[in-house]
Structure 1
Amino acid sequence: MQTILKRRPTLGWQILIGLAIGIILGVIFYKQAPAISAFQHIGALFIGLIQMIVLPLVISCLTVGVANIGDIQKLGRIGGKTLLYFFTMTLIAIGFGLLAGNLFHFGHLIDIKAIPKTDISSMINTAHQQEGHGAWAVISNIIPSNFFKALSTNNMIAVVFFCVFFGVGTAAIGEKGRIIVDLLRAISEVMFKITDWIMQLSPIGAGALMAATVAQLGLGVLQPLGLFIALAYMTMILFVLIALNLVARLFGFNLLEILRVFKEELILAFSTASSEAVIPKTMAKLQHYGASNSVTSFVIPIGYTFNLDGSAIYQTLAALFLADVYHIPLSFTQQLLLVLLLMVTSKGMAGVPGASFIVLIATISSIGVPVEGLAVIAGIDRLVDMGRTTVNVIGNSVATLVIGKAEKQFDPAQHAAYIKNMADA
């Protein structure tokens, strides 16, 4: 019995097996509506289980982390470094997208009349409901007029804002606040335990979501827009290997080691195309890896709103690609305007599937590209979304480690012990 248990595949391999089975099922049940609906519902149940614990986990961990920091000046310093890092990496990500988009004009090769269009009316309606998604809208959404409404609408940045103030207030009342800290710490430990249980279902959830994607789109969707998909993945991979690798090395980290440590979370992020699906496990593993609870609890929730490197690359490439499809030349001034717009519109985005596409609707019209053109790439958005979500997860993991190292809240001894335990296992 012990030998059998030892041979059981790791969770990462189980998810990969689930993905492979999902692809096979998707091919078998291609365009069969009942099967697609069943796969989507199974996948949605899994995502729902993850989303169920994300907010309680963020609230408990972040409040405890801020309360433990205590010093408002120290908190402000960490916040300032975090936001500066986020905006810098977003600008670099957009730069990678601009460079790739200007070097490879694949849009000219596309016959827009030959590509089947996807109905994007619901996405356009959603984008219209979010009109005003600019700098002031992002700022105003930070402060929740009703905390419980922010919870119900999954307004992560507003929840973070409240928790920061609540944590500071808890620290300010001294010993009286210890009961709150102890209670929230216990809640976070319960949430992590529930996370472990839910993650056992991840091979089924990831496989179902992959099956739904393949059954709905089919493998043939790769042919007409294969060049755009390849360009998007190539650009994101280069961003990780060059930009994030350089940043990691500057702060004494090995990117390949980070990728090995977080491989299960990256596989899950890729298969579900949801950043929220991996927040609990990513936070737990970052703390085991050596980052302090305070920094992890502060950087990760904010990162999934303000630091979406993969999404920034995709939006830039998509805008330039569609301009090429419509044979619309973009001047330097127009591309500079695009950069400024993306620096704003890429912030405050929810870490849920399809969010980048909705934000893109509000961006491309500024450079003269018809919004209807998004119907050209809507069909393959899910395939690219899987890649950009994975890059978002890598970017936020590296960001947490960098901020922890910069604030001397990274434990090298704990890191060494964790890596040794992994090697022994």
Structure 2
Amino acid sequence: MAVQTNVSHPTDSEAASAKPRQPFYARLGFQIVVGIVLGLALGFIAPHLAVQMKILGDIFLRLIKMIVAPLVFLNVVLGIAAAGDLKNVGRIGLRALIYFEIVSTIALIISMVIANLSGVGAGMHLVQSPEAAAAAHETYGKAAHVSFEHFLLTLFPDNFVGAFANGSLLQVLVISIGFGAAVLMLNTEQRASVEHALSRMSDCFFKFVDVIMKFAPLGAFGSIAFAIGSSGMSAVISLGYLLIVMYLSLAFFVVVVLGLVLRLYGFNVFRFLRYFKEEIFLLFATASSESALPRLFEKLEKLGCSRQSVGLVLPTGYAFNLDGTAVYMSLCVMFLANAYGVPLDLHQQFGLLLLMLLTSKGAATVSGGTFIVFAATVTASGLLPIEGLPILFGINRFTSQAVSICNSMGNSVATLVIAKSTGEFDESAARSEYTRVFGSSAGKVI
């Protein structure tokens, strides 16, 4: 297969290289950092006012979620069309799914080992009361009533528009794959006209993303201000050790595990993370993996990944490759077990690990994200007290910030790996992009 050289928005890159560098205060990354700092300050100084700023973060996340489903649809369909035939789509997709399972399993095993060695939750000596257990089951237990058959059924929408309206990423993926296959079945003239129309729509949506991103600093300010104003530091102090272990575990996974993967494919992990620094700031501020998805589509193509690899791997990864979610679930399972004095032998931990491998794949389909999926795992296991779920919900905002960064960077690495391993990567484009972003010497070593 010849190396693909098409980058989705060459005119944007050319325009960016022709312009003088923006002053630091005009850059999105700096503005997001300022929003985070101001949000932190307001949260501590005037917590009641800070709580009211939640509306800003909610508006921004609504705007992002509004754009995610059509972007996924357009990029998957265009990715399939660019692949040329269904055999090539299957080749990329199969490699991606194998990679996802291997890396997700590694994430779960590493975090289970760390959880056992660190003893998160030990010494809390919590006691489960029947009344609290019943209340927690009423609140969270509904998430557990998702059998494999029901999960399989929810993959297939019964309404084309409904899948987009509900924001069900897996259903949108199914529609996109079917529609992309239909495009490949058209004759040459029909296919060319459809691809051209979809490509222009994709360009327009990316411009729409640029408009939405102008509000990112305000969204970051509102989200952080609410998080600090509503919880203060009490939740952080009470579960501080768990947060520290989780952040260190996620950092270890990104820097060491993903770093080794990147090194095998010729990339430096720290330069890779610097390239996505604006998206990382945004993820930290919003605690939502979806917030960076539109920008990741664009920047991965500019980094040399072909449209078909980005369009196929990145959206699929958001549904099936949630490395940060895997780390979160492993640590929180052991936290509850230790906090309530529930002994889990290796056999039980292995069973929970297999259960988490399945349930973590549903994070994109269950309303409420990682925490609700974790609640489903705890309830379905029958081994752990679900009374502890409200305790963990108190720090959900802080854990979600790190988890979303790990999820997004894990999927970005996956896209790069699959693109390089299938011949869908343009190294000269990557070096050119690094030179544009980091300077003339940066492109020599990627």
Conserved? CA contact 2:136–2:390, under 8 Å: no
The residue that corresponds to 1:21 in the other structure is 38
Matched, 1:321 2:335: yes
Conserved? CA contact 1:330–1:367, under 8 Å: no
Alignment of 1:336-415 (within 5 A): 336-350=350-364, 354-365=368-379, 366=381, 368-415=383-430
Matched, 1:70 2:80: no
The residue that corresponds to 1:231 in the other structure is 245
Q: 2:218 aligns to what SS in structure 1?
A: helix
Q: Percent identity among equivalent residues?
A: 34
The whole-number CA distance in structure 2 between the counterparts of 1:284 and 1:410 is 15
Residue 61 and residue 169 in structure 1: after superposition, are their counterparts in 2 closer, same or farther (change >3 A)? same
Matched, 1:419 2:430: no
Alignment of 1:96-107 (within 5 A): 96-107=110-121
Residue 217 and residue 372 in structure 1: after superposition, are their counterparts in 2 closer, same or farther (change >3 A)? same
Deviations 1:374-412 (A, max 9, x none): 122211111011000000011000000000001100100
Residues paired across the two proteins, number: 416
How large is the RMSD of aligned CA atoms in angstroms? 2.3
Quote how far apart the aligned CAs of 1:6 are. 2.8
The whole-number CA distance in structure 1 between the counterparts of 2:438 and 2:123 is 48
Letter in 1 for 2:305: A
Conserved? CA contact 1:274–1:352, under 8 Å: no
Alignment of 1:28-177 (within 5 A): 28-30=45-47, 32=48, 35-36=50-51, 38-112=52-126, 125=139, 128=142, 130-174=143-187, 175-177=189-191
With 166-175 and 402-411 compared, the bigger mean Cα shift is at: 166-175
Q: 2:267 aligns to what SS in structure 1?
A: coil
Gaps of 5+ in 1: none
Q: 1:346 aligns to what SS in structure 2?
A: helix
Quote how far apart the aligned CAs of 1:256 are. 1.2
Alignment of 1:268-283 (within 5 A): 268-283=282-297
Quote how far apart the aligned CAs of 1:246 are. 1.1
The whole-number CA distance in structure 2 between the counterparts of 1:245 and 1:318 is 25
The whole-number CA distance in structure 1 between the counterparts of 2:226 and 2:137 is 19
Quote how far apart the aligned CAs of 1:417 are. 0.7
Q: Paired residue for 2:256, among 235, 239, 242?
A: 242
Residue 135 and residue 244 in structure 1: after superposition, are their counterparts in 2 closer, same or farther (change >3 A)? farther
Conserved? CA contact 1:57–1:187, under 8 Å: no
With 261-270 and 119-128 compared, the bigger mean Cα shift is at: 119-128
Conserved? CA contact 1:123–1:358, under 8 Å: no
Letter in 2 for 1:171: L
Conserved? CA contact 1:120–1:378, under 8 Å: no
Q: 1:25 aligns to what SS in structure 2?
A: helix
Following TM superposition, the consecutive aligned residue runs of length 4 or more in structure 1 with deviations greater than 6 angstroms are 118-123
TM (norm. structure 1) is 0.93
Letter in 1 for 2:160: F
The residue that corresponds to 1:208 in the other structure is 222
With 99-108 and 397-406 compared, the bigger mean Cα shift is at: 99-108
Alignment of 1:298-309 (within 5 A): 298-309=312-323
Q: 1:109 aligns to what SS in structure 2?
A: coil
Q: Paired residue for 2:211, among 188, 197, 201?
A: 197
Conserved? CA contact 1:67–1:167, under 8 Å: yes
Quote how far apart the aligned CAs of 1:141 are. 2.2
Letter in 2 for 1:26: G
With 175-184 and 257-266 compared, the bigger mean Cα shift is at: 175-184
The residue that corresponds to 2:16 in the other structure is none
Gaps of 5+ in 2: 1-18, 441-446
Conserved? CA contact 1:68–1:171, under 8 Å: no
